[in-house]
Amino acid sequence: MRRGGGVLMHIASLPGPFGIGVFGEEAISFAKQLQKQGMKYWQVLPFTYPGMGDSPYQSFSAFAGNWMFIDPRRLMKRGLLTADEVVGAEYNVNKWRVDYDFLRVSRDELLRKAYSRADAGIIKKVSEFVKENKWADDVAVYQAIKDDNYQQAWWDWSDEALKACDPEAVDKVRHTDNYKYHAFVQYLFLDEWTDVKKEINDCGISIIGDMPIYVSGDSADVWGAREQFKMADPKKVAKLIADYEKEAKKDDKTPKIKPEALVFDKVAGVPPDYFCVDGQLWGNPIYDWDKHKKDGYRWWISRIEESYKIYDYLRIDHFRAFSSYWEIEADAKTAREGTWQKGPGLEFFEAIDKAFGDRSRLIAEDLGEMTPDLAEFMANVHIPGMRVMEFAFNPGDDSSFLPHNFTKNCVAYTGTHDNNTLLGWLWDCPENVRKCCLEYCGFEGENWGDGGTHSKSCRAIIKTLWMSHADVVIIPIQDMLGYGGDTRMNTPGTPTGNWRVRFTKEDLDGIDNEWYKNLNRIYFR
């Protein structure tokens, strides 16, 4: 990757009148602002539709786009919406937070109006789009069935043939109007983003995308390709039910079986660590890597290929699972009960090289404990890893997260979407850690707690990051603004209240573009 600086901001966080950031003029304006600052990169969060807890990392599809990002104004220009309908789509209750509950209903109603006005030309393009993109067909079928089943998980659908993804039953769904609507929505999403991304790239800005390594159990991906995952063994399920019924007769307070335990054999998570004594039980189904290997990792290659269409670079979350991953029984109560299993390793990346020529557009999220096997794997895979300054400042520890230890081939951050903001971190971290950080970064004075775009403490830390040897340095927009912990994007382990932060035009206009332009000039970024 080119030496350069960039900013991390989710599309949802962009300003605008529609209650959520969209693929519109505000996205292009932000890219132009980055250009003025001398930046080269805009890192975004996954474009997938938000699922449990409004998380873009828990989507119903690893491929489908978040249709809330579709810009109503562009639909008006196509003649699919009226000016009054666009104005009616505006949401001004709270311009600093995304109201997903409101948007899920109102935006769906708006897009259905647009679909009702699609002419033969658009319908033909949608049909061609679905034929060229199998994932779009899977998503449209899946969503159409979900609509008829009150959004229940696929394993709770009433029609056994559809639950089993029977080809004949599925084909009937393709002839429904609702199937065509969902295909239309995915076509619009990709069509709009393609146009907007071209304008962003024309500003000299590359998009760094984000891809969760795992997919949701209740997803089109698992429903349509369950042979690629470790699904529950019928005999094991029968025993689980029998044991439960036996215990339930003795005690009516016996905990009910988790629904996922009746569907999946193994699920994902991470083991206990300093931050979480029980580890983290994510619950995502585990890939059957032997099956993936047999067909040349076809599903994965398709997933990366689609990601390359919408991003210039791709960060893969929880990258270490390609080396080794934590596998947990689906009926386990905590992640403590898991075991380490060997991942597909370098062979997977040899398949990527064969498909795409090389792996130069990939970035590895290799955070967490650096075990010997992971260190060896990262040394051999030759993909830039990540460094985070907020992890660095334990007094007396010559951490690999300290800027003087950054390798050239890495992407370095003040913090990520899972961290507190830089200012919030300064306020919350232990005094000795804060003192170590400020001394390292050359900050002098007592006003370390001052926020805002001219925050001297934040600027000292950002400047230190920019001075580093890392090829690419990224700061969250919150750190560029000097905002506190109330603007944090996500707090891992908390099920609600995340992924909702937005910023206004006034917020972004207040950024000192010249300071960043000078920073990029001085440090040849």
Band of residue 275 on the pLDDT scale cut at 50, 70, 90: low
CA dist 184 and 436 (Å) reads 54
Q: Is there a catalytic annotation at residue 350? A: no
* pTM exceeds 0.85, yes or no: yes
Q: Is there a catalytic annotation at residue 25? A: no
Of 221, 317, 331, 390, the active-site residue reads 317
Find the helix or strand (DSSP H, E) in which 520 lies: helix 513-522
Q: Is there a catalytic annotation at residue 365? A: yes
Strand-pair category, 362-364 with 313-316: parallel
CA dist 302 and 292 (Å) reads 12
CA dist 413 and 473 (Å) reads 6
Q: What pLDDT digit, counting tens, does each position of 421-472 carry?
A: 999 999 999 999 999 999 999 999 899 999 999 999 999 999 999 999 999 9
Q: What is the pLDDT of residue 241?
A: 83
Q: What pLDDT digit, counting tens, does each position of 326-341 carry?
A: 999 999 989 999 999 9
Of 54, 365, 390, 507, the active-site residue reads 365
Contact 144, 169 (CB under 8 A): no
Q: What is the pLDDT of residue 277?
A: 86
Q: What pLDDT digit, counting tens, does each position of 468-477 carry?
A: 999 999 999 9
Q: What pLDDT digit, counting tens, does each position of 378-393 carry?
A: 999 999 999 999 999 9
Q: What is the mean pLDDT of residues 211-230?
A: 96
Residues contacting residue 308 through CB under 8 Å, at least 6 positions apart: 314, 356, 361
